[in-house]
A and B are shown apart, each in its own frame.
Chain A
Amino acid sequence: MPTCCPDQSQTPGRTALEPTQVLRLPWRGSAVIRLCKSQKTKASETSRRDLHLLGLGLSIAGSPAGRSAQASSRSRLAVQQAASANMTNILIASGKGAPELELLKQLPSGVNIVAIGNQSEEFSDLTEEQWKSIDAVLKCGIGPHTSSKALLQELWPKMPNLKWIHSCTAGVEALLWPELIESDVAVTNARGAFSHSLAEWAITACSWFAKDLPRMRRNQKAHSWESYEVEELRNKTLGIVGYGDIGRATASIGRAFRMKVVALRRRVQLSDDERKDGLQVIPADHLNDLMSTSDYIVAALPHTDGTDKLISQSAIQAMKKTGVFINVGRGGTVDEPALIEALQKGSIRGAGLDVFATEPLPEESPLWDLDNVLLSPHTADRTTTFQFEAIEQWLQQVQKFVNKQYLANVVDKTQGY
């Protein structure tokens, strides 16, 4: 059996897929590609791009690595074949009243919305045929329109032909569960949609401390005209932990302020653009070096097993006394008690936090009362149009899905981002 597609016998309930239409290639990390000997020539002819990706130094395993290895590779492409020859059928997990759903009228032809809802009872009248027809799920909606992972887990067994789930959030840690991770269903997210607003907020938080706004506000409250020294961001070091889309957007604004940008990431090689920009990269295992040399640290990490409390007590203790810590990623990536202790003692200058280990932040948390904390209730990217922009991004993905093209923003389910 041609094997440039997953071994379907090991994933019951999934349709057989034509090898020439399906080629899953890993992005990075351990990779397994099995090329059927009988189909090898055809595969190499059909896709030079695939071979180029192979040239990224990935191993081609001759031995069947099994379903777990396949599941552990990060998909660059989505599995694209509609069960129905003509229509793409989508289920939307969101409250029906979500205003951004008005953009659904911009869906391309050939796309059918099977159902919309964020409670399981709203899907109770779907027929088995409709369930089988579903190719993709969109998870969106905020506030009262939000849908839960539990809902998707409940609907999961009913959708045997599901190929793709898209989440209108950047973080997907609240979406993934073991069966989904193990499966072949591609997951994509809204990476990039919110990066600019988060970058703006991060630099605002830097300026908040540079211009000593706590002092200005105290003086203003006391009607006290007392001039004092401020700092410029110019020539200060901006350390970015997690140099993804949000980190890069922050670096871009930081460079406009003529800050010196230092980034923590796994790949230490610089691209030409990065070299021109004067970016300095610190390897991922030297976090404390970044913490100790930066004046303003912006954390923009996803929350995964690998990043849980990555910014540990020792990292926080390595910070300068004048250092400022800003988190626009996920609260779970920081050792929050250690951060609170450092803020209370004054061993760092302050923190600007949009995300927390527990949200909503409990009332008894000391962070509420600290004068050197700027506390935002996870709204740094919550513009009036941010969900609309996320849906617009999804519409582009749908177009690609329908045209059997590579999807963007494919999540590595095992890595968690």
Chain B
Amino acid sequence: MHQSCNFCLRPVSEADVTRPCLRRKPLRAGCATTASRPLQPARLLRRRCCRRRACSLSQHQQSYLKARRLGETADSSEEETVANILVISRRDAPELEVLRHLPRNASVLAIGSSMQDFSGLTQQDWDRVNALLSTWGAGHSFLQELWPRVSKLRWIHSSSVGVDKLLWPDLINSSVIVSNARGVFSSSLAEWALFACSYFAKDLPRMLAQQQSRKWEKYNVEELRDRKMGIIGYGSIGQACARLAQSYGMHVTAVSRTGVAPPKAKLPGVQVLSTGRLNEVMSQSDYIVAALPETPDTCALIDAAAINAMQRRAVFINIGRGTTVCEPALSSALETNAIRGAALDVFASEPLPADSILWQLPNVLVSPHCADQTAVFQHNALLQWIDNVSRFSRHQQLLNVVDKQLGY
């Protein structure tokens, strides 16, 4: 079984698992907390386990936390884990040059995108693989092929944000940790979303039509200032949109699963509501930005009722996943001008079929899922992964760990 401690990532057997006060995931003997919360050494040192007065942190825990606080490796007597990495990628991908920044205790066993590329690996090599990097484009079907061979796998990192194409039941139920590139693309997506708002506010369709017919005719434009933006999905991308929108003077309301702003993302002036109030937000916003991940819970979350609740002058922007919207209802609303317009970077089916009506509607901006595709976006994603490789080797908390049950 792929069991590793969710605190320090070292292998853990059944006998080794402790019983902390709040049991959720397996913890190795001596480890104090779950992986879902960042360590706060000062607090932990005061913490008691199992409400027993005599309980206190072990020597191991104390030295580990002290070492983390000092930023050094825990237990100098304990060796770092060598990260033996399998990279799923096209071999000629330019971003792979970033691999030269890997720490010294990381080793890339093979790079490839098919079983043929890995045919040179011996059984010993397969048994050594403890980390896997899945780059842009790789889906779970290939990973499922590899799965039985990587018995010692402990960690998969995806260089995209959405892991909807990556997760499957065996992986979800295992203890393999999955992390993603959350945060890397948020800035470019937020820029695109605000541009899309301006596109309609300045009535660029009209301006471009006039330009084409050489018509000099003045018309009214709108400011984004003082307009209302509703953000559906308040993760890293949603928060980046909120920050930019506020710089324009927009009033921002967000909808999230929990209805509460994440602790690090408390932007003053942003009201965060739960998904139960989605239709309310849809009806009150002038510009709606959907930045939802694709999970079983978000499938068609923005349904026909939500779209019908939108104002006539409202604009819908989707930079999350196409399946989170009921696309037929959206197309219909756009065709009948029940809403002002839409700017879509993602679609239920990609590539967007050539006969989709969305291509030709004058009030729709169609972007082929490249709103974040800058020249260096994969480089940046891999640089973030390299940081995680260092953490993996030193048994530290990984960044951007995905909650496999929730799907993001």
Contacts and interface: CB of A to CB of B under 8 A. Distances in A.
Contact of A360 (B216, B248, B370): B216
Given A200-B198, A256-B243, A384-B220, A375 B249 contact: no
A226 interface: yes
Closest 9 CB pairs of A and B: A256-B247, A225-B351, A360-B216, A227-B370, A207-B195, A204-B198, A227-B368, A223-B359, A368-B214
A207 B204 CA distance: 13
Interface string A298-334: 0000000000000000000000000000000000000
Given A196-B225, A200-B223, A210-B191, 18 more contacts: A196-B223, A197-B221, A200-B202, A208-B204, A216-B365, A219-B368, A225-B351, A227-B373, A228-B370, A234-B191, A256-B243, A257-B247, A368-B214, A373-B211, A375-B211, A377-B218, A384-B220, A384-B222
Interface string B212-246: 00101111111111000000000000000001100
A231 B191 CA distance: 10
A62 interface: no
Interface string A190-216: 000000110011011001101100001
A361 to B, nearest CB: 6
A383 B192 CA distance: 23
A380 interface: yes
B199 interface: yes
Given A363-B214, A368-B211, A377-B210, A220 B187 contact: no
B218 A383 contact: no
A321 B343 CA distance: 29
A143 B218 CA distance: 9
Contact of A379 (B187, B201, B221): B221
A196 B249 contact: yes
Contact of B219 (A253, A256, A257, A379): A379
Interface residues on A, range: 35 or more
Given A360-B216, A379-B220, A382-B218, A208 B195 contact: yes
A258 interface: yes
Given A360-B216, A368-B211, A377-B216, A211 B366 contact: no
B225 to A, nearest CB: 6
A100 to B, nearest CB: 13
B225 A200 contact: yes
A211 B367 CA distance: 10
B331 to A, nearest CB: 15
A327 to B, nearest CB: 15
Given A360-B216, A377-B216, A230 B248 contact: no
B304 to A, nearest CB: 25
B345 to A, nearest CB: 10
Nearest to A199: B248
Interface in B356-378: 359-360, 365-375
A374 B225 CA distance: 22
A219 B201 CA distance: 23
B352 interface: yes
B21 to A, nearest CB: 43
5 contacts: A220-B365, A225-B368, A227-B368, A227-B369, A230-B192
Contacts of B371: 211, 230
A376 to B, nearest CB: 6
Nearest to A254: B247
A204 B214 contact: no
Contacts of B187: 232, 234, 258
A100 B207 CA distance: 25
A252 interface: yes
B188 interface: yes
A143 B373 CA distance: 44
Contact of A216 (B201, B211, B214, B367): B367
A380 B223 CA distance: 10
Nearest to B369: A227
Per DSSP, are chain A's interface residues mostly helix, strand or loop, or mixed? loop
Contacts, number: 131
Contacts of A225: 350-352, 354, 368
Contacts of A216: 365-367
A204 B199 contact: yes
Contacts of B216: 359-361, 377
Contact of A377 (B199, B217, B352): B217
Interface string A322-363: 000000000000000000000000000000000000011101
A207 B207 CA distance: 16
A204 B223 CA distance: 11
B196 to A, nearest CB: 9
A200 B375 CA distance: 26
A233 interface: yes
A253 B244 CA distance: 9
Nearest to B185: A232
A257 B354 CA distance: 34
Nearest to B205: A217
Contacts of A204: 195, 198-199, 202, 204
A229 interface: yes
A361 B210 CA distance: 12
Contacts of B199: 204
Contacts of B204: 204, 208
A211 B195 contact: yes
Nearest to B187: A234
A252 B202 CA distance: 19
B207 A230 contact: no
A211 B374 CA distance: 9
Contacts of A384: 220, 222
Nearest to A373: B211
A197 B223 contact: yes
A378 interface: yes
